[in-house]
Structure 1
């Protein structure tokens, strides 16, 4: 019987925390909050049914299980980096490389890319879906759409559009409180914050955890449960009738989507203008 892997980002967070022996330092490296790092470590420990760290006032110590896991995780991450290096051939004339949060790549860029390609028939466009902060640090992209807080996305990145979190589900007739709640880990706000804002009767705790708003959105569209996601991603699907917003409540998001471009690249400027237009039209 096959065993499903936990989200790969949990291992990335584990490796950074083990290397630094502090959640704070790992959070700084990965462009996350300390609470998000701690939450993902707890999620990995629960998934593996074992404690990986001893939490001490001065830092972290690996348990025996953590010490056994670390070298395998470290070598796997290094192998992934080496594999990616084989394809990073760098920007070329007539090529456009876009590195974007997987959620933006799937739900904003992919549905409309034909329109941009038709307007630029001689341009080869390469889209890289990114998850980890390190993906951007080593990026060769002409355009980057980064997800995170303003303090950790880089000084050259500008926030695209103010965002909020809303609760969405596929259309259904059953009572909302019978549906499982889906939460994206590694983000600052969650269902607890949404309940305070909405005063809703949804009292259950989330039981399904994913590593991005994009995955949460996909699950909601497929009827898995109610997802707390970025309104920027959800509103086009609400407009199409694929999702409904179960409550008017919307909570401001500490994180958001930020745009950075190579200003000396005319194609990058064209793509950025097109993308901003698409994202603005969805709000």
Structure 2
């Protein structure tokens, strides 16, 4: 029986890594995270039964087996590219690439995106989602909307929306905070103990843990408990009645969302202004709701 071929993506990751001798540069080129490229290379090495790279402190080096495999993979990818080129439609004249926190994409951009598409139908959008600061594809993107500290965002990035955290809960659970399940976002500074101190309100200890504010808000919106999230994300969920604020008080956090655009791209600036206006109008609506 013929053994199954490794997935094509493994070979793409290998070829790009071999050309750059860097998993990070390969990830930037093919629109993946560095960890995903590294995992695919390891999977290919396991499948073939040989190491393809030497991992060195200052980068990568091909092994003899890697050098033997590379020209064959390169030729095969060229053949596939040539074979499919006539079937691929021309790229749109304007393609705006946005490397964005998946939480912002889900809870801020997604609900409001129809208004952008209606106003700028000639701009096609490509979104590259990420969670942690090291996952954002800056070299490929016209717009980078990252999550992290001010230091991680860099000096040229601007704060997007709020740097505050707000507690939200499903409306049916708002009257029983002592027994309401609590959802916690791991790896984030500022949390439930700070919120309890600031508000003087009590709540249970966390019993559900997630890795992003967006995931916490999604679980809360589906009735799973109370979440503490960046208030920039809260607009759509609150206005849609999925959750309600537990308190009007907010607390600070070291991490927030930041936006940076390619200064040479007019479309990037258009998207930035649209998103900033969308978030500003959401703040006004949220104040009215709380009022």
Distance 1:145 1:218 in 2: 20
Distance 1:175 1:166 in 2: 18
The match for 1:20 is: none
Distance 1:219 1:81, change over 3 A: farther
Spell out structure 1 runs of 4+ moving beyond 6 A.
none
Correspondences of 1:4-19 after superposition (within 5 Å): none
Residue aligned with 2:241, SS: coil
Distance 2:257 2:281 in 1: 15
Single out whichever of 172-181 and 219-228 deviates more from structure 2. Answer: 172-181
The match for 2:158 is: 158
The match for 1:199 is: 200
Residue aligned with 1:117, SS: helix
The match for 2:73 is: none
Correspondences of 1:1-283 after superposition (within 5 Å): 78-79=38-39, 93-136=93-136, 138-172=138-172, 175-202=176-203, 204-283=204-283
Residue aligned with 1:282, SS: helix
Residue aligned with 1:233, SS: helix
TM-score by length of 2: 0.64
Aligned 8 A contact 2:102 2:214 in 1: yes
The match for 1:47 is: none
Single out whichever of 127-136 and 187-196 deviates more from structure 2. Answer: 127-136
TM-score by length of 1: 0.66
Unaligned 5+ segments in structure 2 are 1-33, 44-76, 78-90, 284-291
Distance 2:122 2:248 in 1: 44
Unaligned 5+ segments in structure 1 are 1-73
Residue aligned with 1:165, SS: strand
Aligned 8 A contact 1:99 1:139 in 2: no
* Residues paired across the two proteins, number: 203
| Higher relative contact order, chain-length normalized (CA < 8 Å, sep 6+) | 1
Query: In angstroms, what is the RMSD of aligned CA positions?
Result: 2.5
Instruction: Give the Å deviation of 1:201.
Output: 2.4
Aligned 8 A contact 1:171 1:242 in 2: yes
Query: Which protein has the larger Cα radius of gyration, Structure 1 or Structure 2?
Result: 2
Instruction: Give the Å deviation of 1:92.
Output: 7.8
Instruction: Give the Å deviation of 1:135.
Output: 2.5
